[in-house]
Amino acid sequence: MAGKSNFGSPGDRPPTYDGRERSSGRGILAGRPILTWSLVAIFALMVIGLLAGWIYVQSLYRGMPSLPTTEQLWAKGREQAIEFVDRDGDTIAIRGPRYGRAVRVEELPPHVAQAFIAAEDKRFYEHNGADTQAIIRAAWANFTSGETVSGASTITQQLIKNLVLTPEQTLRRKAQEVRLARELEERLSKDEILELYLNRIYFGAGFYGLGAASRFYFGKAPEELTVGEASLLATLPQAPSRLALTNNMTDAKQRQSYVLREMVAAGFLSESQAARAAAEEVELAEPPARDPQFGYALDAATERVNEILPSLPGDLVVTLTIEADLQARINDAFDKRMEEEGAGQNAGQAAGILMDEKGRILAMYGGVDYTENQFNRATQARRQPGSSFKPFVYAAAIRQGLTPYDVRRDQPTTIDGWSPQNYSRNYAGPMTLTEALQDSVNTIAAQLGQEVGEENIISLIKSLGVSGEFQPFPSIALGSQGMNLRDLVRAYGAFMTGGTRVDPYLIERISNSRGDVLYERPAYDPQRVMNQRDAETMVAMMERVITDGTGKRAQLEGWQVAGKTGTSQDWRDAWFVGFSAARLGGVWVGNDDDTPMTRVTGGGLPATLWHDMMVIAHEELEPQPLAGAGSLVTLSPQTRRRIAFYRDVGAAFSATQ
């Protein structure tokens, strides 16, 4: 064995590999390149697909609006609407869409909210804003039918769709709706969302919110709805215009059957309760019949609302001082009187206003036909008040120390080339100031105007709240410069109240539909503008106008009243303004084009209209004494002549000094 290599024997040779064996070992990695690259491609496509899907999903939310605040959700999308109510909270009228006053879920009978949940979102208290089960079920139904046959919007999604997003039917909008709905559910409780829904949903016929629908369809508050009524209202959100109860009760009743079945299925009602509700005789309320004359007061109130609140929210509830029944009855009385007497005297228009001693405007008559002409003659027209202005001249004289018993001569008078004439064209000689006022003597009023000074008269009426510019001309004593009826009446209020100014107002309170108070007329002590004794002296003198003078038609049985007639030149304007201890009011009669009437004076048609208004206004009131009334002493003719003689002597003596 010596000399043999270790590898000399074939059996001792190391194993060798031929080419076939070596190539087969590399085939797993290199022999099948198609499979390798296929796997790589599939993986890449999956990554790209996922990335594209992620990008697409994100694109669905691109430009998505942020969720508004809760306050904004209550106000968003509202058209401007104002509900006018009286002091008892009863609706007088609504300007714009009818938004109900907010309802609270906890204040409603359970069946009211349950009806809407059964009709619109049976799993409302179970999902988180979007009902995944319902979405899958609706998607499958739509896919198998080849068209959209089912939706899956929850109550929360409906809120988002109506208040935040556009109504377009696209996947992008639906995705945004779902996300925002879930965000809203994180912010608000279920009851808060349901409350928002019930107050913002559209119920057809211009009604938004359960409060409006309940009151205007059934004439009752939502808290009083029966099961039958609630289930009928719950039919409306699906198709509010088509199913509006005032237009299509038949289809609404069919939809009601579905709502009641769903309420039974949800355990809200028993079969017998649902049957009773379905058989319930439901009567729709008559729409509130309001005279169009309310329009004048509503226009004036709307103007004032805009002054009080420079930036108006979408929904307002304005509490007016107007007493609706009183307003309607005064409208009827004025309309009848003007139809019976106005036409025959060529008096085409009239205006009236009624207040209490605090300035609350209880009724306002702005003209004979609001539907024909909305110009408010009680607040907007500036007309010559004629002799109804004279009390301010006499009040200025009383303020300067004259008395009701002082005597002046009714005689021809010329002032700077102006010669006032009496209505009778006669002169009565010496008479007291009381007599001159009660008989509306022009010459003596003109003389007093010169004694007290025009500037002092203007200062007085300004202190009483009269607006506008006045010139110190001698003729101002006879009411030659324009005023509006509201200002004239408020100025008389200082006599009525014993010397404090009356500030008229139409609005007690402004709130939104949720009851948040935005404005409330503040309480304040009225400004004293006249000595109380002087005011009561004027009352005593003005009472004589009605008992013995030109205003006899204004006498009011059982009440002491005071006032003054007024007639402008050529019978273009006729007035009566007066008051009792409880009510203050005035009337104007004339024509819009300023044409003369047929000898209509303040003691005629205006005094009669004033009497009509005051009879209605005092029906429910107990008579009260009017401070100052009945306090004057009646002087005999001999006494008046004696006073006149000695006053003339005194004047002559003063002239020689």
Kindly state whether residue 64 falls inside one of the protein's structural domains. Answer: no
Report how many domains make up the chain.
2
Task: List Cβ neighbours of 431 (8 Å cut-off, separation of 6 or more).
Answer: 407, 408, 409, 410, 439, 441, 444, 640
* Region 520-531 average pLDDT: 94
Average pLDDT (615-628) is 96
274: domain CATH number is 1.10.3810.10
Residue 272 counted as domain residue: yes
Is pLDDT above 50 for 20?
no
Encoding tokens for residue 447? 């003389």
The C-alpha atoms of residue 466 and residue 503 are separated, in whole angstroms, by 10
**Residues 356 and 458 occupy one common structural domain:** yes
CA 194, 197, 199, 204 dihedral sign is: negative
Share of the chain above pLDDT 90, in %: 60
Q: In this predicted model, which residue has the larger pLDDT, 145 or 578?
A: 578
Residues 256 and 358 in one domain: no
Residue 343 within a domain: no
272 with 356, same domain: the answer is no
More confident site: 564 or 204:
564
- Tell me which residue range forms the domain holding 224: 70-80+100-279
Residues 376 and 272 in one domain: no
Tokens at 7, concatenated: 């590898």
Say whether 54 sits in a helix, a strand or coil. Answer: helix
Contact 408, 444 (CB under 8 A): yes
Domain finish residue from 279, 296, 317: 279
Q: Where residue 176 falls among pLDDT bands split at 50, 70, 90?
A: confident
pLDDT of residue 140: 61
Q: Are strands 517-520 and 507-511 parallel, antiparallel or unpaired?
A: antiparallel
The pLDDT tens digits for 468-511 are 999 999 999 999 999 999 999 999 999 999 999 999 999 999 99
Q: What is the pLDDT of residue 244?
A: 81
Average confidence (pLDDT) over 150-173: 76
The tens digit of pLDDT for each residue in 134-159 reads: 667 655 655 565 544 445 689 988 88
Nearest to 116 by CA among 78, 154, 150: 154
Do residues 363 and 215 share a domain?
Answer: no
Is residue 356 domain-shared with residue 274, that is, in the same domain?
Answer: no
Whether the pLDDT of residue 75 is over 80: the answer is no
- Mean pLDDT value across the chain: 86
How far is it, in rounded angstroms, from Cα 599 to Cα 610?
A: 18
Note the pTM of the prediction, 2 decimals: 0.76
Answer for the pair 478, 388: CB distance below 8 angstroms, yes or no: no
Predicted confidence (pLDDT) per residue in 434-452, tens digit: 999 999 999 999 999 999 9
Q: What is the pLDDT of residues 327-384, one digit of tens each?
A: 999 999 999 999 999 989 999 999 999 999 999 999 999 999 898 889 999 999 999 9
Of 99, 105, 197, 212, nearest to 155 (Cα)? Answer: 197
Are 300 and 314 in contact by the 8 Å Cβ rule? The answer is no
Q: Judge contact between 319 and 87, C-beta under 8 A.
A: yes
Q: Which amino acid is at 410?
A: D
232 and 366 fall within a common domain: no
Question: Cα-Cα-Cα-Cα dihedral of 202, 205, 207, 209, to 10°?
Answer: -40
Residues 397 and 251 both lie in one domain: no
Q: Which of 569, 379, 599 is nearest to 489 (CA)?
A: 379
**Predicted local confidence at residue 253, as pLDDT:** 92
pLDDT tier for residue 282 given thresholds of 50, 70 and 90:
confident
pLDDT band of residue 521 (cuts 50, 70, 90) is: very high
Tokens of 630: 């009945």
Q: What is the pLDDT of residue 38?
A: 76
Residue 495 shares a structural domain with residue 636: yes
Q: Is residue 213 scored above 80 in pLDDT?
A: yes
- Mean pLDDT of all residues in 274-302: 84
Give the type of residue at 294.
Answer: F
pLDDT confidence band for 60 (50 / 70 / 90)? low
Structure tokens at 470: 């006045």
Count of CB atoms situated within 10 Å of the CB of 645: 12
Say if residue 562's pLDDT is above 90.
yes
**54 in any annotated domain:** no
128 in a structural domain: yes
347 part of a folded domain? no
pLDDT on residue 617: 98
For residue 370, being part of any structural domain is answered with yes
| Residue that finishes a domain, picked among 249, 279, 309 | 279
610 domain residue, yes or no: yes
- Whether residue 27 is predicted with pLDDT greater than 70 in this model: the reply is no
Residues 467 and 585 placed together within one structural domain of the fold = yes
Predicted pLDDT of residue 61: 57
Least confident of 35-49, 348-362, 600-614: 35-49
Q: Among 279, 308, 325, which residue terminates a domain? A: 279
Q: What is the pLDDT of residues 450-466, one digit of tens each?
A: 999 999 999 999 999 99
Give the CATH number for residue 484: 3.40.710.10
